[in-house]
Structure 1
């Protein structure tokens, strides 16, 4: 059960950050209909998303090797 809570918490956090980053990109982007130019502005939320993906991946490795051994946690196994 701890495995499911751990995985889903990380997935929810990453999904929320992805939604925030996409919304901020859309809001801060500029489109000028006269010239047909479209400018996308990527902000620090994307850096936060990439760093959270890296940190969650490292946390999964650490959890699988150290903490999750007692639970039978294996990153390669699906839901059982």
Structure 2
């Protein structure tokens, strides 16, 4: 569901580039989908070890946190 919402808002942002809220929500949703995939993954693919998997998961969580913060600020018309 998160990936679907991310794709929907990405397409909305591509149609209305001035509405940056849509873009930030799309980035946030896709990053959260990557984090959530950790719950159902059965192997560390496409990485060779779980170390690479954990690094990718941590980076996606950081991207999610940053994009969520910017999304909230843009949604509330803050800077």
Same fold (TM over 0.5): no
Kindly indicate whether structure 1 or structure 2 has the higher relative contact order, using CA contacts under 8 Å at least 6 residues apart: 2
TM-score between the two structures when normalised by the length of structure 1: 0.43
| Structure with the largest fraction of strand | 1
Task: Pick the structure with more helix per residue.
Answer: 2
Structure with bigger gyration radius: 1
TM-score (norm 2): 0.43
